Amino acid sequence: NAGVTQTPKFQVLKTGQSMTLQCAQDMNHNSMYWYRQDPGMGLRLIYYSASEGTTDKGEVPNGYNVSRLNKREFSLRLESAAPSQTSVYFCASRREGETQYFGPGTRLLVL
Amino acid sequence: AQSVTQPDIHITVSEGASLELRCNYSYGATPYLFWYVQSPGQGLQLLLKYFSGDTLVQGIKGFEAEFKRSQSSFNLRKPSVHWSDAAEYFCAVGVPPAGRRALTFGSGTRLQVQP
């Protein structure tokens, strides 16, 4: 039982490049989330998926897209990366109830 | 909308000393409350949570937190800090009952432990 896994762990992009951050969970959770973490700001919600086939915007969705590929996987895509998207990205999943379980994070640097 | 305030950005305590990390929330009713810990370069680990019932909740690693409705607070405590407790601590709230169930996080408190 690996919990929540994220790939890659670290990525460097040039401005304008695209990439997809992958997230998978093996806990059979319905809900999944993408957050970004910036210094002094805690975690902010980018997008979430309440169930397979549904996605919705969070606080800071601009510049991102998501896909809930199946119950296990929830990917985050940057179509044209900008330096303001330099951050640490965390994926989380939630079982019924309120507790969210977090992945180890992806550190993204956009030059 | 709900919000979370962690007034202390950085706290330094001596090993063996007691610890209290403050968390205040803003919401019209009682939210679900959480404390997470993040070690350097790691993800977030749940320390404890409060949904309802006993206002003093016990968590992992010897931590406890007390919900005080009158003060809209959920402070985290530990009677004797260990060097391994050095990390960043995040308070978070979730709003019941329905909806997206995402969490709103405070900005974090970084704990440094002196030998």
Tens of pLDDT, residues B58-104:
999 999 999 999 999 999 999 999 999 999 999 999 876 544 567 88
What does each of the 111 residues of chain A score in pLDDT, given as a tens digit? 679 999 999 999 999 999 999 999 999 999 999 999 998 888 999 999 988 889 999 889 999 999 998 999 999 999 999 999 999 999 999 877 668 889 999 999 999
Alpha-carbon gap: A48 to the closest alpha carbon of chain B (Å): 8
Contact between A104 and B42 using a beta-carbon 8 Å cutoff: yes
User: Are residues A58 and B100, on separate chains, in Cβ contact within 8 Å?
Assistant: yes
The separation between CA A70 and the C-alpha centre of its own chain, rounded to angstroms, equals: 15
CA distance A79 to chain B (A): 24
Residue whose entry in the numeric block shows the structure tokens 């997470």: B36
Given CB atoms, is A41 within the 8 Å cutoff of chain B?
A: yes
Report the distance separating Cα A93 and Cα A12, nearest Å. 26
Asked if B101's CB is within 8 angstroms of A94's CB, the reply is yes
Contact B14, A64 (CB under 8 A): no
